[in-house]
Chains A and B, each alone.
Chain A
C-alpha cells in the first residue's frame, strides 16, 4: 500500500491574509487607504445625518422644521407610516391590509423552500395565498366590511399588482414560449414578432396604452377597471420577457431528452409537462428570479399612471405643508422598504445559482 501524502498548501495567517488583500504592493496600500478614507467619511456623514443629529418621535414636527439638529427628521416616518403602508384604506380595517401583505411575504418565503418546487405545489401555494390576500383586502365575506380597489393603496397595492402580474404572467409566459418554439413556422414566427415588438417597447408605454388607450378600442362591456387593465398590460410585458427566459432554458436541454421521450411514446403534453418544462425551469431559475426582482421594482411605475402605490403614497405622506421639508427622509424610507424585499430576493437568487452550479458539475 502506498502512502498518499496530502498536498500541503500553507494556510496564510490572519495577518498575512490582511496584508495580501489590502497592502500587497505600494499601490495597493495607497488604494486601500484612499478608499478607506472615503468610506469612513461617507459612513460618518451618514451616521451623523441618520442617527446622531436626527430627530425621532411622531410629535417632533416643529423641532424638525426649525432645524434643529441638522440631521434627518424621522418624525415624518413615525407620523405618516400608515399612509405609506396602507394608503387610503379605512383606518379600522388596516390590520387586514397588513395581514394580507404578511401572507404574501410568507408565500414568497415558502416558495424559496425546495419542497414546494413541484408543478402542483407551487401554483397551489400562490393561488391560495393570492386568494387569501384578495379576500382579506376586498372583504364582503366572513363578516368583513367591503373595501373596493379604489381605496387600496400603499405597500398593499404594490404587493397586489406584483403578485397578480406574476400569477397571470407565468402561465402566459409558458404558453408564449411553447408557441414561440412551435414546429409550425407561421405560429412560431408570429409569436416571435409579437414578443420582440413588446420587448422593444418601454413598460411605461405599455401600461399607458392599457390604461388610457384600450378603452377606446374595446367594446363597453370589456373595459373593466383601470387597475385590472394595467395589471393585464404588465402581465403581458412580463410574459414576453419570461417567455424568452423559459425558451433559453429549453434550448439548453440536450436534444436527446425530447427524442428519448418521443421514443418512449409520450404525447406532446406529457413530454412538455414531465420532461421539458421541469428541466427548462431548473436551467432558467437564476434569470427567472432576476426577472421577478425587476418586476417588483418596476411595479413602482404605476405611480406615473396615477395609482396610489407605495411610491405615490410616500410622496403624498411628505407632500403636505406640515411635512414638505422631509421629502428626502420619506424617499429613504420607501427606498428601504424596496431594498429589504429586493436585496433578500436577489441574494437568494445568487445563492441558488451557486447551488445549482454545484449540482450540475
Chain B
C-alpha cells in the first residue's frame, strides 16, 4: 500500500480526483439541500414559471410589456435595458476618456491640470455615490412648467429630459442601426483584405461607396418605418404642466448613463494616457522630420499607435464597466439585475432566476470580449510594425 502511494502518477491522479470530486460534491450538496428546502416550502422547481404572467410594472421598456406579460418577457426587457444602457454609456465613456487622456498628454500645462483633476475626482469616489449624486441633481431640475425649451427642441426638467425624435417604428430604427453596424464590420474586413492590396485612390472610392450605400439604406429603413398620419419630426412641446411628444429620457436612465460614462471615462483616460506614453518618441520625431503638421502627427501616428497598444486593456475595461451597470438598481433603473431581483421577490423561484442571471452575464461578457478581441486581432500591429 505504502509503495503504491509512492508512485507519483498515482498520487497526482489521487489529488486531482479529490479536488474535482470535492467541488462536484459541494455543488451536489447545494442542489440536494436546496431541493429539500424548496420542497419543504411547497415550491415547484423548474423553469415552468417563465410562462406565468408577472403582474408587476416596469417603468422603462424598449419592447412592448404589460403586467400580463410572462416572466421571460420581463427578463428580456431587463436584458435589453442593460444592453441599451451599456450601448449608450460605453461609447460616451470612450469619447470623453480619449479626450481627457489626450489632454493629459498634450504637453500644455493647463490642459494637463484639468485632465488630472477630472481623473482624480471621478476615479476616487465610488460609482454608486456618483450615481446617487447625479440622480439627485437631475431630480432637482425645475418642474416642467417652469422650464423653457433650450434651442426650441431640448427640455431639461426634473421629470426627465426631452429630446426631439422621429415618428418611426422601433423595428426600423433597429434595422437602420444594424445596417450601419454591418457597414462598419465590412469596413474592418475589407481594410485588411481587399483595400490593402488595391491602389489607395480606388480603396477610398470604394470606402465612400460603402458608406453611401449604408447611409441610403439606413435612411430608407427609417422612411419606410414612418408611423402614418404624423409629422416626421417629433419635437417636445410644453402643454399644461408637462411636456408632450419628443423622446423622454427618464432621470434614472440619464443618471446611470452620466455616472457610468464619467466614471468609465476617468479609467479609460488613464489607459489612453499610458498608451500615448508608450508610443516611442522616435515616431513623433520622425513625423516632425518628414514635415508633418502636429495635427497630422497626432491623428495619423500617435493616436492609431496608442489605441492599438491599449486595445487589450480597454477590452477588459469594457467588460468591467458593463458589469458595473448593475448598480442601476440603486435608483430603480429596471436593468437585468433589478428585474431578476424583483422576480425573485415576486415568484420565489430563487435558484432558477439566479441561474438565469449568471448565465446571462456570462453570455453577454463573453460576447463583448469575443467581439472586441476579433476587432483587436483585425487592427493590432502585426510583426515588427512598432519598432522601439
Contact = CB atoms under 8 A, between A and B. Distances in A.
Interface of A: 21-22, 28, 31-32, 35-36, 38-39, 179, 184-187, 190, 194, 197, 200-205, 208-209, 212-213, 216-219, 297-298, 300-301, 303-304, 311, 315, 327-328, 331-332, 334-335, 338-339, 342-343, 346
Contact of A219 (B33, B110, B337): B33
A331 B12 contact: no
B110 A39 contact: yes
A343 B330 contact: no
Contact of A339 (B124, B127, B327, B366): B124
Contacts, number: 142
Interface stretch (B132-140, B163-171, B180-188, B371-379): B132-140
Given A32-B109, A186-B16, A201-B358, A304 B128 contact: yes
A216 B126 contact: no
A216 B37 contact: yes
Interface stretch (B70-78, B87-95, B318-326): B318-326
Interface of B: 12, 15-17, 19-20, 23, 30-31, 33-34, 37-38, 106-111, 113-114, 120-121, 123-130, 132-133, 136-137, 140, 319, 323-324, 326-327, 329-330, 337, 341, 344, 350-351, 354, 357-358, 361-362, 365-366
Residue with the highest number of chain A CB atoms closer than 10 Å, among B23, B110, B344, B362: B110
Given A202-B326, A301-B327, A303-B128, 10 more contacts: A187-B16, A216-B37, A297-B125, A300-B126, A301-B128, A311-B132, A327-B136, A328-B133, A331-B133, A335-B125
A31 B109 CA distance: 10
A184 B16 contact: yes
Given A201-B358, A209-B354, A315-B132, A217 B30 contact: yes
B365 A217 contact: no
B326 A187 contact: no
A268 B144 CA distance: 70
Contacts of A331: 129, 132-133, 136
Contacts of A327: 136
A186 B125 CA distance: 41
A200 B330 contact: no
B133 A200 contact: no
Contacts of A35: 108, 110-111, 113-114
Contacts of B20: 186-187, 190
A205 B358 contact: yes
Contacts of B362: 197, 200-201
Given A201-B361, A201-B362, A216-B34, A328 B137 contact: yes
Contacts of B31: 217
Nearest to B344: A212
Contacts of B133: 328, 331-332, 335
A216 B38 contact: yes
A184 B12 contact: yes
Nearest to A318: B136
A39 B23 contact: no
A219 B244 CA distance: 55
B110 A328 contact: no
Given A35-B114, A200-B365, A334 B351 contact: no
Contact of B350 (A39, A213, A343): A213
Contacts of A219: 33
A298 B114 contact: no
A143 B3 CA distance: 58
A335 B361 contact: no
Given A216-B34, A331-B132, A338 B126 contact: yes
B41 to A, nearest CB: 9
B129 A201 contact: no
A205 B329 contact: no
B124 A204 contact: no
A335 B351 CA distance: 36
Nearest to A293: B124
Contacts of B114: 35, 38-39
Nearest to A301: B128
A307 to B, nearest CB: 13
A202 B337 contact: yes
Given A200-B366, A201-B358, A202-B361, A334 B129 contact: yes
Given A202-B337, A328-B136, A328-B137, A32 B108 contact: yes
Contacts of B109: 21-22, 32
26 contacts: A28-B108, A31-B106, A31-B111, A32-B109, A35-B114, A38-B114, A184-B15, A186-B17, A187-B16, A194-B23, A200-B362, A200-B365, A204-B329, A205-B361, A212-B344, A218-B30, A301-B327, A304-B327, A304-B329, A311-B129, A328-B136, A331-B132, A335-B133, A338-B124, A339-B125, A346-B124
